Amino acid sequence: MAGLALLAGCGTVGTLPKAITLHDFGPPGKVIYAPAIPLRLLEVRAPSWLGSSGMQYRFDDAADQRRLTYTENRWVAAPAELIQTAMRRAFDLALPDGGGCLLRIELDEFSQVFDSPTTSHGVIDARALLISPRADALLAESRITVSAEAASPNAAGGAAALRDASHQLIGEVADWLGTLEKGAGGDLDTKRACR
């Protein structure tokens, strides 16, 4: 009797919690970028609502302001950590003299957006900032928004779409750094500023 009472106190007998599926960006990408500007550090930041491992989705409807989370699917880490790891793998940051600027990415959006019940895409909206190594001064910044179609209207499709969007983000950041190095951003001497 005592055993039955103990089991009754532990909740419903015979039901197991559903397994949580964990997602990441898969194996490292094969593309390695040699930054056009000397970099010593790379960091990715995100607001509090992107600070968990929850896989977020929403509907492309101005009247629907809900941000929803899949209940049985999670990222292995928060979005900022996933993107930072992918970027560190993609950028060669080795500087023998120890110099270099800080590249900071500030995430504003990282979610699966449903256009309809059967179609969706992964969206990343971010700001890239190049920061001086000495004065901690902002040298340049750029707003970058990328999107990739999801192959299926579910968490697995959203995870793959956000992985593809993250690769696009990395490529666009590399291109932006290249324009700064060529002087397209005005009279900024990035090689000198990032020594």
Q: pLDDT of 125-146, one tens digit each?
A: 999 999 988 778 899 999 999 9
Give the model's pLDDT for residue 91: 85
> What pTM was computed for the model?
0.84
Give the model's pLDDT for residue 15: 62
Of 54-68, 94-108, 132-146, 166-180, the least confident: 94-108
Burial state string for 99-136 with b = 16 or more CB within 10 A and e = fewer than 16 = ebbbbbbbbebbbbbbeeeeebbbbbbbebbbbebeee
Extents of the domains making up the chain = 40-193
pLDDT higher than threshold 70 for residue 153:
yes
Task: Please list, in sequence order, all residues whose beta carbon lies within 8 angstroms of the beta carbon of residue 21, skipping any fewer than 6 positions away.
Answer: 72, 73, 74, 155, 156
pLDDT higher than threshold 60 for residue 114:
yes
CA torsion sign for 144, 147, 148, 153 is: positive
Give the model's pLDDT for residue 24: 94
**Of residues 89 and 185, which shows the higher confidence score?**
89
- In CATH terms, the superfamily for domain 40-193 is ABC-type transport auxiliary lipoprotein component (3.40.50.10610)
Give the model's pLDDT for residue 170: 94
H/E element, 130: strand 120-131
Average pLDDT score over residue span 44-66: 92
